[in-house]
Amino acid sequence: MKKDTYKKEMTIKNSQQKNGALNNRADVRKIQSWLTLFSIQNPHVASATAIDGDFGKATEKAVKNFQESINVPTDGIITQKLFSILCSDMKYAFEKPLRSNNLRDLVLESAENHVKSHPLELVIKGESNSGPWVRSYMDGHQGSEWFWCMGFVQTIIDQACSKQGKSLTKLMPWTYSCDTAGTTGLEKGLLSRYTQIRKNPNIMKPGDVFLIQKSKYDWFHTGIITHIDNDIIETIEGNTNREGSHNGIAVMKRTRNYRKSKIDVFSINPIVN
């Protein structure tokens, strides 16, 4: 896999604790981020805390609350072993062995593994589109300007391709831009316009990439098509929310009516065959 930045999000250099001599601010921010993500998924556990790189009393208490919730000694110290438990969702998403044989099925399986792991962005230093999941999809980049829907799509396809020893670059260049992907699709004859899709929905297949059109050569959101049913496509997409925003907070499953939206479709056939 080319997209392996996630490995950095699952490791710390040394054990971290309140006023520890080996404390590292970057590692403490990672810990605080994962504690906050854990609390979002487990709202009964008071593990959310400020993400400021300072391992003080509040972070120590958050760690102890996390430890108590998983029935381990509550010493307030984050070792690598404990940190691995804290970020186990990411390990599942990126490292669970894929078992499908067909590449389209591999794309869907990988996307399912990610959505089951509840990827969420955080706000760090006042910047949205931040946190370990965003950095993993965006090769270390984060912040309000880093919309991460294409980073998510390429991560999923990269995982599927890697299983078969193929490369995503046969399909499109490495990019975070919907516009770059859309333009490439037009140049290669792989992008079907929404007008074509509405006339012939059979053009779409599960595993293909949808791109929502703002104007003829401007696309603003993307995701993976998982199912087609009459006028509806079901999707898994990043940087979205319940309302279908292109700058939301999570990886989510959605349903979209392709007859009511300007949804172009990028075929992944070149890497399937």
| pLDDT tens string 106-138 | 999 999 999 999 999 999 999 999 999 999 999
Q: How far apart are the first and last CA of the chain?
A: 20
Which residues share a beta bridge with 211?
222, 264
Amino acid 243: pLDDT: 78
Structural domains of the chain in order of their starting residue, each with its CATH number? 6-86 (1.10.101.10), 92-272 (3.90.1720)
Going across the sheet that includes 191-192, the strands are: 191-192, 263-266, 209-215, 218-229, 232-240, 250-257
Residue 188: pLDDT band by 50, 70, 90 thresholds? very high
Establish how many alpha carbons lie within 13 A of residue 177's alpha carbon, considering only the half-sphere containing its beta carbon: 11
Q: In angstroms, rounded to a whole number, what is the distance separating the alpha carbons of residues 67 and 84?
A: 13
Each residue's pLDDT tens digit, 197-243: 999 999 999 999 999 999 999 999 999 999 999 999 999 999 998 77
Report how far Cα 208 is from the mean position of its chain's Cα atoms.
17
Percent of the chain topping pLDDT 70:
100
Rg (CA), the chain: 20
Fill in the amino acid letter for 62.
Answer: A
- φ/ψ (deg, to 5) at 92: -60, -45
Percent of the chain topping pLDDT 90:
97
